[in-house]
Structure 1
């Protein structure tokens, strides 16, 4: 039997081949992340009469760079395993003195394949992978939109610091319409009250009218904002509002796509209170096959919601924090769901309130609810049955 370890990189991978005794057959080779590079690897295997039936290939899950090679080797019917880089740390320390060049990583991975002491990461099915791609893309868009909003607020704080008091949501429909047309106090003063009233009434569907128009004008007249570089600030605000509108339109379209795909994949996750289509899509796509986890505690650890206790010698810390290991996307989704469930789920809200009555901080209590919710998620997905709150 032969074992191939592949050290994954963005442009060029590196491979080492060992036999069943752990001996290197040849110097490691570097090959590009391309069809030509893959052919170079296959040619090396064929040189030693290595075929799909007598080799195990291993690689680390380094970013997304392993996906193309992994898929290609599977298409060629090779046995391929993908491991978490954390698993190879102990082996690296063991072999670090045996290999004094850059090939040590691929050699270590090959040795891990030989010993067989590893857990694998696998490509999910098409729907799960699609959900993961779209869900992570959505989170990136949400973060980008938030960044633009912060930039806009920073500018408004300079030119019109009083503006934040005019609307409960600076980026609500009416406020955005106003800023898109009249981005500075001077612009708002330049338009007559009737025109401003009509804009407000139309964009707010009658919620705002003449009184709000007068309030805006009065606030603009008495603003303490700067008047320097007025045109530059106005130009920035208009462009930022347009950018926010564009991203929000993309998010609306994206969320419809995600919801449709989720309902084709797994409906049961949304039976859990606090988990709607979007959070459900993130959770399902990040977990993948629930059978990968033997227990709820493993899923809690994978989400990075397990407790981390500081200990040194005889000292053991009394304050615990979540470890934040594992998938940050999964942890973020469960945490957001827990903040809703803590007040709306009949069982989890009782649990949350009991922690608060014991003097626990709000965030500490939410962390505990998040762990409970992860247990619920594990049971619901494992049994494929809708969630029913356990009210005692």
Structure 2
């Protein structure tokens, strides 16, 4: 199917008829503002409407819309708003339940059009509502259609997982900082600070002073008390001896031992809690993915992990609603943008006007694919032999992946490796 942005905008404009009233709503935490215009951009209401973020406020909005609309012979309404923050969700869902058409406007579009009427950079809620209505009347909007419940649940879990993942990284950085200050030799003994033996050591012998009067057997007993199994093997005894030697020559900060010990124990407690939460979310995500009708088709692409697929479906929604991979790239902000004027030829860059979380995981997925998937590894090498940079090849292959995924889901097919097929023949 051939898809062009120009045709889509024309279709959105033609959708607004003489019987339509376009309502722009500026979203706030407590009190929203609404303005109404016709399809030619003429204001229909004498002044804007302010209404609260409550059911009574929503009903006040609908009553005002019908009163103003009927006075101008308008029988249909197209309601536009910016999807900023989370305050718009309740209003948009309630309006859909009332069988009203709701569309979304990109905040960047609103910002760039705020001077059209008064040639002024001033900003206030009534003006923003009017600008949103103007933008909708010119076709610069997208339809708001809530996803099926399973995709909404995946999105909620993945959004929460991003928060807890960030917390885990932040706590890990704090723990590494603590180690560098109080026990810098610790990292010469343990290559990873968050291994099982490493964590047991930090909890049992947080500071070098805690190891000064101990022997190898005492260290092994301390590890056992932290729940470790099989600590007395040859490698365990060697590691204990290495730890004691490192503590004996430590140059770590001293003089605040009690405070430092309590600090690391608190950090470790919170870190282990975040790891427990992330493990629970992993199981929840896996259960939700089993409810997606086409999940096995996506899993047929070797190298796409559970978290990657969950983010893809949570951020992009049902891939059956996409006509082409380019739409998925645009949603992630991975479509190309170029600034060219007259003789000036601008550099082509990624627009980055889209879902940053989806963009992040598509990038990480491609890094994994070029290492594990035989096809993407081959295409990545071939692109570089043609003179393309590694990063350029990665983003080119992300576009290829988007087309493959949307095409598979649209046709109900599983992925078939062209190289494996050729080899079998």
Q: TM-score, normalised to structure 1's length?
A: 0.89
2:201 equivalent to 1:181: no
Indicate how the Cα distance of structure 1 residues 160 and 187 shifts in structure 2: closer, same or farther if over 3 A, else same.
same
Render the CA deviation track for 1:89-139: whole Å, top value 9, x for unaligned. 564343244997732221222234444453224322211111111012112
Q: Secondary structure at the match of 2:114?
A: helix
Contact 1:197 1:212 in 2 (8 A): no
Tell me the CA shift for residue 312 of structure 1. Answer: 7.8
- Per the alignment, residue 181 of structure 2 pairs with 158
Equivalent position to 1:61, from 80, 83, 94:
83
Rounded Cα–Cα distance in structure 2 between residues aligned with 1:99 and 1:151: 43
| Residue of 14, 33, 37 corresponding to 2:33 | 14
Report the secondary structure of 1:92's partner residue. coil
Count the aligned residue pairs: 391
CA-to-partner distance for each residue in 1:147-177, whole Å, 9 max, x for gaps?
Answer: 1101110111011111112122211122111
Q: 1:80 to 1:303 in 2, by over 3 A?
A: closer
| 2:204–2:223 CA contact under 8 A, matched in 1 | no
- Corresponding position: 1:278 with 2:301: no
Match of 2:16 in 1: none
Q: Find the residue that maps to 1:234 and give its secondary structure.
A: helix
CA distance in 2 between counterparts of 1:163 and 1:313 reads: 61
Question: Within 1, Cα distance between the matches of 2:211 and 2:336?
Answer: 53
Distance 1:111 1:237 in 2: 56
1:300 to 2:300 alignment: no
Does the CA contact (< 8 Å) of 2:37 and 2:133 recur in 1?
Answer: yes
**Cα pair 2:320 2:406 within 8 Å, conserved:** no
Cα shift at 1:79: 2.2
CA change 1:143–1:15 in 2 (3 A) is same
The TM-score normalised by the length of structure 2 is: 0.83
C-alpha displacement at 1:317, in angstroms? 6.7
Distance 1:27 1:336, change over 3 A: same
- 1:23 Cα deviation from its structure 2 partner: 2.7
Corresponding residue for 1:134? Answer: 157
Deviates more, 1:323-332 or 1:108-117: 108-117
Corresponding residue number in structure 1 for 2:49: 29
Structure 1 match to 2:130 = 107
Greater shift in the superposed pair: 73-82 or 43-52: 43-52
Note the C-alpha offset of 1:275. 1.3
TM alignment of 1:1-392, pairs within 5 A: 1=19, 2-21=21-40, 22-48=42-68, 50=70, 54-89=76-111, 91-97=113-119, 102=124, 103-200=126-223, 203=228, 205-206=230-231, 208-265=235-292, 266-267=294-295, 268-290=297-319, 292-307=321-336, 314=343, 316=345, 322-357=350-385, 362-391=390-419
What secondary structure sits across from 1:283 in the alignment?
helix
Please give the secondary structure, in 2, of the residue aligned with 1:170: coil
Q: Which runs of 5+ in 2 are unaligned?
A: 1-18
Compared with structure 1, are the counterparts of its residues 29 and 147 closer, same or farther at alpha carbon in structure 2 (3 Å cutoff)?
Answer: same
- Unaligned 5+ segments in structure 1 are none
Could you say what secondary structure the match of 2:290 adopts?
helix
Could you say what secondary structure the match of 2:78 adopts?
A: strand
Residue 173 and residue 307 in structure 1: after superposition, are their counterparts in 2 closer, same or farther (change >3 A)?
Answer: farther
Instruction: Give the distance between the partners of 1:301 and 1:81, measured in 2 at CA.
Output: 18
Distance 2:340 2:186 in 1: 49
SS in 2 for 1:326: coil
Is the contact made by 1:3 and 1:113 (CA closer than 8 Å) also made in structure 2?
yes
3-state DSSP of counterpart to 1:239: helix
Structure 1 CA distance for aligned equivalents of residues 69 and 333 of structure 2 = 44
Q: 1:224 to 1:100 in 2, by over 3 A?
A: closer
Aligned equivalents of 1:170, 1:76: Cα separation in 2? 55
1:345 is displaced (CA, Å) by 0.9
